[in-house]
C-alpha cells in the first residue's frame, strides 16, 4: 500500500484564494472547505490511493514562536478563512481520513513524523508527501518517500531532482529558505527563477574570485607561502623517513660513513 500525507492547511488556503466564495444555508463562508473536500475526493479516485493522513495547523502559532521572534502568526488571516479551520478538520474526518490537528507543533511536523514512522514499514510500498513545500523535500528517500506537487504534477524524487536541486543551490548561496523562495517566485515561472539563480551564484563567487586574484597576483607572497609549506613538509617527511629506516633496520648514513 501507499500512504499519502497531505498538508490540509495549505490545501485550505489554496481553496480559499482560488475558487469563488460559497456560503452554507446558514450564511457561513464554506468555499475553502468545499474546495478542500473536492481536492481530496479527486485524490481518492486515483487507483493507488487508499491510506491518507491530513495534517492541519489547528492554530497557526507553535513552539517556534517562542524560539524565533517574528515567526509566522495568525495575524492577517482573513476571518472568513480562519473561521473554516475547525470545519475543514471535521469535514475531512467525515470522509474517513486520519486527521492530525496540530497545536504546539505544525502540520509539517506531523507529516515529517508520519513519514519517519512508516518509511521502514515493510507493508508500506511508498510514502507520498502531497505538498509543494520545498522544506519537506528533505524527507525524500529515493523512491521510498517522495514529494508530489499536485498542482504541477511534479514529483520531487532523488531520481528526478529537477527544480529541487536548483532551489537547494539557491538556498545555499543566499541563505533564503525554501518557503521564502517558493513565495517569491509563485506565478513568475522557472525562467525568471533560473536567471536570478545565475546572478546569485555569480554574486556568491565574487569574493572567492577576488581572493584568488589577490593571491595569484602577489607573486612574492605566493612564493613565501609555497616555500614555508615545502619546508614544513620536508621536516615532517624527514622525521617519518627516519622512523621508517629505524623500523626496517637501515644503517644511518652517518654510521655507514664512520664504518667506512
Domain ranges across the chain: 2-160, 218-250
Integer Cα distance of 173 and 203 in angstroms: 9
Q: What per-residue confidence (pLDDT) applies to 98? A: 94
Q: How many CB atoms lie within 10 A of CB 231?
A: 10
Nearest partner of 31 among 20, 40, 39, judged by Cα: 20
The pLDDT, as a whole number, for residue 156 is 43
Q: For CA atoms 130, 133, 139, 142, give the dihedral sign.
A: positive
Going from the C-alpha of 198 to that of each of 29, 161, 206, 250, the distances in angstroms are 44, 18, 12, 59
Q: Which of 20, 96, 87, 86 is nearest to 58 (CA)?
A: 86
Quote the radius of gyration of the chain (alpha carbons, Å): 29
Q: What's the predicted TM-score (pTM) here?
A: 0.58
DSSP 134: G
Nearest to 51 by CA among 122, 3, 112, 19: 3
d(CA 208, CA 186) in angstroms, rounded, equals 31
What pLDDT tens digit does each residue of the chain (260 aa) get?
899 999 999 889 988 988 888 999 999 999 999 999 998 998 888 878 889 999 999 888 888 888 888 888 888 889 999 999 999 999 999 999 999 999 989 988 999 999 989 988 999 989 989 887 778 888 888 778 888 776 654 344 454 456 778 888 888 888 887 767 767 776 555 667 788 889 999 999 999 999 888 888 888 888 888 888 888 888 888 888 888 878 887 766 665 555 55
Under CATH, what is the fold of the domain 2-160? Rossmann fold (3.40.50)
Amino acid at each position: 500500500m501507499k500512504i499519502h500525507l497531505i498538508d490540509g492547511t495549505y490545501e485550505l488556503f489554496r481553496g480559499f484564494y482560488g475558487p469563488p466564495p460559497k456560503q452554507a444555508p446558514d450564511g457561513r463562508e464554506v468555499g475553502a472547505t468545499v474546495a478542500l473536500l473536492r481536492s481530496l475526493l479527486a485524490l481518492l479516485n486515483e487507483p493507488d490511493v487508499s491510506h491518507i493522513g491530513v495534517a492541519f495547523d489547528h492554530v497557526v502559532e507553535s513552539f517556534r514562536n517562542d524560539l524565533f521572534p517574528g515567526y509566522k502568526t495568525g495575524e492577517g488571516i482573513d476571518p472568513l478563512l480562519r473561521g473554516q479551520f475547525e470545519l475543514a478538520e471535521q469535514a475531512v474526518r467525515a470522509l474517513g481520513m486520519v486527521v492530525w490537528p496540530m497545536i504546539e507543533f505544525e502540520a509539517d511536523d506531523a507529516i515529517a513524523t508520519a513519514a519517519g514512522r512508516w518509511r521502514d514499514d515493510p507493508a508500506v510500498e511508498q510514502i507520498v508527501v502531497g505538498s509543494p513545500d520545498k522544506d519537506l523535500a528533505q524527507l525524500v528517500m529515493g523512491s521510498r518517500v517522495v514529494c508530489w506537487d499536485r498542482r504541477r504534477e511534479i514529483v520531487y524524487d532523488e531520481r528526478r531532482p529537477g527544480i529541487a536541486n536548483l532551489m537547494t543551490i539557491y538556498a545555499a548561496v543566499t541563505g533564503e529558505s525554501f518557503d521564502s523562495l517558493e513565495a517569491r517566485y509563485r506565478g513568475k515561472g522557472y525562467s525568471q527563477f533560473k536567471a536570478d539563480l545565475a546572478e546569485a551564484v555569480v554574486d556568491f563567487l565574487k569574493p572567492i574570485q577576488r581572493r584568488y586574484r589577490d593571491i595569484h597576483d602577489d607573486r612574492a607572497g605566493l612564493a613565501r607561502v609555497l616555500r614555508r609549506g615545502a619546508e614544513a613538509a620536508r621536516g615532517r617527511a624527514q622525521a617519518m623517513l627516519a622512523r621508517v629506516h629505524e623500523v626496517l633496520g637501515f644503517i644511518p648514513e652517518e654510521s655507514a660513513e664512520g664504518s667506512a
